[in-house]
Amino acid sequence: MKKTGMKKNGMTKMTAENNLPGVELPALEQYDGTISPYANSELRSITTTRVDRLAWESWYQDKAELVASEASPVITCAHPQLELWLRMTEGFDPSLKMTQPPADQWPLTRIIPRVMPGKQGIPFTLPMGNYWIDYGEISSSMKHLPDREWTYKATEQFPDPNRVTLGYIGKHLLSRLIWRQRFALWSNPFFEQFKEGGMVVPDFSAWLDDPRPQALVGERMTQQFAELGCSRGYRMIPTLAWQNTEMLRRVADLFGSMYPQVNTVYLYLTSTGVERTAWLYSRLEDIQAHLSDLPFRFLISGVESGWGINALREALPKENFHLVAGRPWMQARLSFGDNQERALNFRRAVGRMEEWHRGENLPPLRPKPENPFQVVVDEL
């Protein structure tokens, strides 16, 4: 299961089995003699592999009518750009070339507030610390990157411009623009201001009901984007996303093998169209089973309540997590009083979350609902 829930509109109906009748697929070696984690998968016949990079032609071109029909023997991807993506990613190479600064040279506060800068600046004084800007709050254009003069100096509105991270929470369609501009954006003045503070890698396959080939393509795109940014001198923060246990174990093994060259990763636990309490418990169970022993610093969004932080502390008992939180900013902006009072409310909200992170004054855990998708079922 992946973090952003299920599509409410145009939900993909996965009625076919994920195999190819009558097709035997022996394991194929990669160029270095090792076996790819995708080598035994039937999916290589409809997506591609490093060994057979032209496999997509036989299914997405030669058999286009079959693939598009309800009688298709495979679960295919509806995204119109999938063929192009497959060519660009050139298969599923699980290796990754990227590094991060040592953690002691890259300090992070336990609470990283999400703050929205604006043309007129931030209306009240922020305390020193790390902050997070959502790309979608700066620009919602699907045609071009940020081009307004004030956006080029957005980080200067914060106490330390070098401690501001760029992230992508919500508005997932913008990831298409980011992928199209992946070679040009690094010299764009808006992005250049995040070289020191870090850039989180967008999740290029954000839905639970993405057919598996599309999810695997998105997984590889995420890896390639991280590698590309690192080669341009950026501090890249990879996103760990998963649809199922197999995918989670694979990305955990990949990044776990890269420690300490990679020491900071991002988990997006926000969801839509699900029973949120049950959803969070399902995510935390996966984290506890497959990630809790890793020595990473986890940046986590989607957990801001006291009971949720209580549950997160049980899943990550090393307390090696940092919360990306929008609540302090929203509480300050919506509060009554002048800007001095808003600044005080902001500090109070951050301080309350810091207490919860330390295990102080934690509310009790909520009962665990049975079905994370009950809300979706009811709505359909």
pLDDT computed for residue 235 by the predictor:
97
Rounded Cα distance, 141 and 151, in Å? 14
Residues 202-215 pLDDT 10s: 988 766 656 666 77
Neighbours of 120 (CB within 10 A): 8
pLDDT computed for residue 355 by the predictor:
97
Please give the structure tokens belonging to residue 305. Answer: 């309540």
Domains by residue range for the chain, with CATH: 17-74 (no CATH), 103-379 (3.20.20)
Q: Name the one residue in this structure whose structure tokens are 């913008």.
A: 174
Residue type, 116: M
pLDDT computed for residue 297 by the predictor:
97
pLDDT computed for residue 22 by the predictor:
38
DSSP-assigned letter for residue 370: S
- 83 burial level (CB within 10 Å; 0-12, 13-18, 19+): middle
pLDDT computed for residue 83 by the predictor:
59
DSSP alpha helix (H) spans, the chain: 55-60, 64-68, 82-89, 135-138, 174-180, 189-192, 212-231, 245-256, 276-290, 306-315, 327-334, 339-358, 374-379
Q: What is the pTM of this model?
A: 0.79
∠ Cα 149 151 152 (to 5°):
70
pLDDT computed for residue 72 by the predictor:
45
DSSP element (H, E) containing 156: none
Residues 162-184 pLDDT 10s: 999 999 987 878 888 998 899 99
**Which residues of the chain have a pLDDT value below 50?**
1, 6-31, 36-78, 80, 375-380
pLDDT computed for residue 249 by the predictor:
87
